[in-house]
């Protein structure tokens, strides 16, 4: 049956009224937000930069806009205009307004604005993770790989503007249905824009290619496709590791219903780039290494980590009976209870868990030692020798214990935390501490006298100390490597004996020794490399029998073993070793990451990725491990029962 003209007039009229009502609802909201944006810019709460920073940010934005072939008028950190595309650096002062949280970036279609959190722009903290420079060849410089990463983010947000703005005129933190697909579409857009930029020479003078060349030793001139692959994958592989430590509410492991993980997205981009393989075999090997590194980091998200995010750099962490205690650079003490660590939460912001601040007024004083004792709480020793304890959510000074500690700063050795006792090693002496008391102090020379030297001239040394219950195991090394271990007990009285281990055969005697207690049995495991280019191997040692090979691991850098040593292609060696729970051994590798060896299954696998960053690894008596680094803004907590 044919519809009457009056019917269609009613339909069209009703639609027009709906559009008008929608516009009337949106217009006041837009005007209000536009005025608020102007206020934020005027007060400097959005877009405040130094002149040097302003030049760099403008350069990055303008190149991105040109690569994306956008012709609209542009406002960069200036007062907004209603017909322009805007770019702003933001921080926590404007988060509620912009919806752009720490370590993030968003496109606001209502204001036609890209908001970038400042932590993504010139992150100076990269040089201090682990307490030392992790990029000594670029010390005190900006990192070009972060600028390339930021350009990729800018192009991604411009992809949302170009592809998705028409889908909704409203600003919302979750703008689009099927937003995961929209994120991937914006990724492809950013790659295509990057390709155009390199083919047009927009990025030919970028610092990233010089940084790539300095890191890999590749001096050959690269064509535009090679330069794009080198710049993007080098930058992404660097960021995949640094995002595990930088300030921000998300890491390279983070994903949700709307956002795929960093590694998943970059590997999709890498698959597209792989269609244009270079004729340069050295470049191809580095590209393959960068891809392997990205996949390695992305695989860690399946291990069940809970991510803890701090607004300030973390100086130390320790487990007690009730949870995890953290101390940041401002002496704020944070405590996350076990029940929250066990909720399988993907991400925890630490600010609600702050207990208070340690009363140290000297801004030059830092945390130098942290340990925890069973039923005694967590102890914090400053570099200027102020000692505090944190127990049952309360702080107090420890004058008695402090008076018994040597004024020299020391290394702390502990079992799973909270420990029944610790050894505080301040060579040439060490102290045994239980509860609030130093129960014994001894000179190392006296203890090492129990180990047989092969000659009067041989210098015996010690390494990582393992503490199991009240017994301490101290590996002893001579001129030709490991010879055995000292066993130190303090109950009922101080006593030392030496156990010689059979180290015959083709093993790495300079490797690191870990000790595990399985029931009443003590087991000895040596981790090392027979040669610089061989696999990492775990051997089980015995007093009488020859060593047995138990497991091997091939570092990612093995793929570059035929190439010259470079800043990216460094030697992999064992930096540290730690046993826990009578079942697991953590092996920290310089140039790779942290391995977990299971003494029951003889399996070995990577569980964290650090490359050059020195990690902090602590384990709890509840079967939990935490990974971080000095001056990191993140901690990753993992239940060992899941692995």
Structure tokens at 214: 């300095």
How far apart CA 458 and CA 443 sit, in angstroms, is 18
Nearest to 422 by CA among 398, 391, 401, 392: 401
DSSP state string for 125-144? GGG-GGGS-S-GGGTTS--H
What domains can be seen in the chain, in order of their start residue? 138-302 (no CATH), 312-552 (2.130.10)
For residue 53, give the nearest of 122, 103, 106 by alpha carbon: 122
Give the integer Cα–Cα distance in Å for 158 and 107: 8
Q: What is the pLDDT of residue 249?
A: 82
How far apart, in whole angstroms, are the C-alpha atoms of residue 210 and residue 134? 18
Burial degree of 124 (CB within 10 A; 0-12, 13-18, 19+): exposed
Residue pointed to by tokens 């800018």: 154
What pLDDT does 258 receive?
A: 82
Whether 442 and 428 have beta carbons less than 8 Å apart is answered as no
CA-CA distance, 70 to 197, in Å (whole number)? 12
User: Please, what is the angle between helix 262-273 and helix 224-242, to 10°?
Assistant: 160
- Cβ contacts of 17-26, under 8 Å, gap ≥ 24: 26/110, 26/169, 26/170
The residue assigned the tokens 């340990």 is 371
Distances (CA, A) of 329 to 127, 334, 593: 16, 12, 25
> Which among 419, 417, 451, 445 has a CA at the least distance from the CA of 430?
445
Cα 273 from chain centroid (whole Å) = 26
DSSP assigned state of 401? H
Structure tokens at 89: 């650096």
Q: Rg of the chain's alpha carbons, rounded to an integer?
A: 29
Distance CA 443, CA 425 (A): 10
**d(Cα 275, Cα 630) in Å, to the nearest integer?**
40
Report pLDDT for 401. 66
Length of the chain: 643
Cα separation, 196 vs 228, in Å, equals 10
pLDDT of res. 127: 65
Helix (H, G, I), strand (E, B) or coil at 267: helix
CB 402 within 8 A of CB 391: no
Residue 392: count of CB within 10 angstroms of its CB: 9
Phi-psi region of 2 (alpha: psi -120 to 50; beta: other; left: phi over 0): beta
Query: Hey, how many other C-beta atoms are within 10 angstroms of the C-beta on 311?
Result: 16
pLDDT of 470: 86
Helix (H) or strand (E) holding 573: strand 573-580
CA atoms within 13 A on the CB side of 243: 26
352 Cβ neighbours under 8 A, 6+ residues apart: none
What letter does residue 570 receive in the DSSP assignment?
Answer: P
φ, ψ for residue 308, nearest 5 deg: -110, 130
- Report the largest interatomic distance among the alpha carbons of the chain, rounded to a whole angstrom: 113
Q: From residue 21, give the alpha-carbon distance in Å to each of 14, 27, 110, 176.
A: 10, 10, 17, 22
Distance CA 569, CA 551 (A): 24
562: which 2 tokens? 């035929």
Q: Which two tokens stand for residue 183?
A: 């994120």
Written as one string, the DSSP assignment of 44-93 is: TTTT---HHHHHHHHHHHHHHHHHTT--S-EEESS---TTSEEEEEE-GG
DSSP state at residue 523 = E
Find the Cα–Cα–Cα–Cα dihedral 318, 324, 330, 331, rounded to 10°: -60
Neighbours of 604 (CB within 10 A): 19
Per-block mean pLDDT, blocks of 10 residues, the chain (643 long): 48 46 54 92 91 91 95 95 95 91 90 93 73 45 80 95 72 54 92 92 82 90 90 92 89 86 90 82 93 94 92 94 94 93 79 91 90 91 89 80 66 90 88 85 92 87 90 94 94 92 95 93 96 93 96 96 91 94 93 96 96 92 93 93 62
**Among positive and negative, which fits the CA dihedral 99, 103, 107, 112?**
positive
Q: For residue 642, what pLDDT is reported?
A: 57
What is the pLDDT, as a whole number, of residue 42? 94
- Residues 616/608, Cβ–Cβ less than 8 Å: no
Sheet holding 367-373, edge to edge: 367-373, 377-382, 387-391, 394-397
User: Which residues sit opposite 369 in a β-bridge?
Assistant: 381
Burial of 95 (0-12, 13-18, 19+ CB in 10 A): middle
CB 463 within 8 A of CB 427: no
pLDDT at 491: 83
By the 8 A CB rule, do 431 and 405 touch?
yes
**Percent helix, percent strand, percent coil in the chain, to nearest 5:** 35, 30, 35
* The residue to which tokens 């790779």 are assigned: 592
pLDDT of residue 257: 83
Question: Distance (Å, rounded) from C-alpha 612 to C-alpha 129?
Answer: 9
């Amino acid at each position: 049956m044919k519809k009457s003209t009056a019917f269609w007039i009613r339909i069209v009229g009703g639609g027009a009224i709906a559009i008008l009502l929608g516009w009337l609802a949106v217009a006041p909201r837009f005007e209000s937000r536009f005025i608020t944006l102007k206020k934020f810019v005027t007060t400097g709460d959005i877009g405040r930069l130094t002149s040097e920073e302003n030049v760099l940010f403008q350069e990055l934005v303008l190149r991105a806009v040109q690569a994306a072939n956008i012709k609209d008028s542009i406002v960069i950190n200036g007062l907004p205009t209603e017909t322009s595309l805007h770019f702003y650096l933001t921080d926590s002062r404007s988060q509620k307004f912009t919806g752009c949280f720490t370590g993030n970036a968003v496109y606001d279609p209502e204001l036609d604005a890209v908001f970038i959190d400042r932590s993504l722009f010139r992150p100076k903290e990269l040089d201090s993770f682990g307490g030392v420079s992790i990029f000594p060849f670029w010390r005190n410089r900006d990192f070009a790989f972060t600028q390339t990463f930021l350009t990729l983010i800018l192009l991604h947000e411009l992809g949302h503007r170009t592809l998705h703005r028409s889908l909704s005129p409203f600003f919302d933190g979750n703008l689009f249905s099927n937003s995961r697909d929209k994120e991937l579409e914006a990724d492809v857009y950013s790659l295509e824009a990057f390709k155009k930029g390199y083919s047009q020479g927009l990025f030919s003078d970028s610092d990233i290619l010089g940084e790539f060349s300095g890191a890999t030793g590749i001096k050959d001139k690269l064509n535009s496709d090679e330069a794009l692959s080198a710049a993007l994958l080098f930058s992404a592989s660097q960021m995949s590791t640094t995002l595990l430590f930088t300030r921000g509410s998300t890491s390279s492991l983070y994903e949700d219903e709307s956002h795929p993980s960093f590694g998943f997205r970059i590997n999709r981009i890498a698959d597209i780039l792989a269609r244009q393989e270079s004729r340069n075999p050295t470049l191809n090997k580095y590209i393959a290494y960068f891809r392997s590194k990205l996949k390695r980091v992305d695989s860690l998200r399946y291990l069940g980590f809970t991510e803890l995010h701090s607004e300030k750099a973390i100086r130390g962490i320790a487990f007690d009976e009730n949870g995890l205690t953290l101390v940041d650079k401002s002496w704020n003490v944070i405590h996350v209870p076990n029940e929250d660590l066990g909720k399988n939460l993907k991400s925890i912001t630490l600010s609600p868990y702050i207990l208070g601040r340690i009363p140290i007024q000297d801004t030059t004083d830092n945390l130098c030692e942290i340990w925890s004792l069973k039923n005694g709480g967590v102890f914090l020793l400053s570099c200027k020798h102020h000692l505090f304890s944190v127990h049952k959510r309360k702080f107090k000074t420890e004058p008695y214990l402090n008076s018994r500690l040597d004024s020299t700063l020391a290394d702390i050795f502990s079992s799973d935390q909270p420990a029944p006792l610790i050894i505080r090693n301040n060579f040439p002496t060490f102290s045994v501490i239980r509860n609030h008391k130093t129960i014994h102090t001894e000179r190392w020379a006296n203890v090492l006298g129990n180990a047989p030297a092969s000659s009067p001239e041989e210098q015996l040394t010690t390494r990582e100390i393992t503490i199991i219950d009240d017994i301490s195991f101290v590996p002893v090394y001579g001129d030709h490597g490991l010879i055995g271990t000292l066993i130190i007990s303090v109950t009922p009285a101080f006593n030392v004996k030496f156990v010689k281990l059979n180290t015959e055969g083709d093993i790495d005697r300079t490797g690191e020794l870990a000790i595990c207690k399985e029931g009443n049995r003590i087991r000895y495991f040596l981790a090392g490399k027979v040669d610089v280019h061989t696999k990492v191997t775990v051997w089980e040692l015995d007093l009488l029998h020859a060593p047995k090979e138990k497991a091997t691991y091939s570092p990612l850098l093995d793929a570059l073993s035929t190439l010259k040593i470079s800043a990216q292609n460094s030697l992999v060696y064992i930096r540290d070793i730690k046993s826990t729970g009578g079942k697991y051994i953590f092996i920290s590798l310089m140039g790779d990451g942290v391995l977990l060896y299971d003494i029951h299954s003889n399996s070995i696998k990577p569980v964290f990725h650090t490359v050059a960053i020195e990690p902090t690894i602590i384990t709890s008596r509840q079967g939990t491990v935490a990974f971080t680094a000095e001056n990191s803004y993140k901690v990753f907590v993992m239940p060992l029962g899941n692995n």
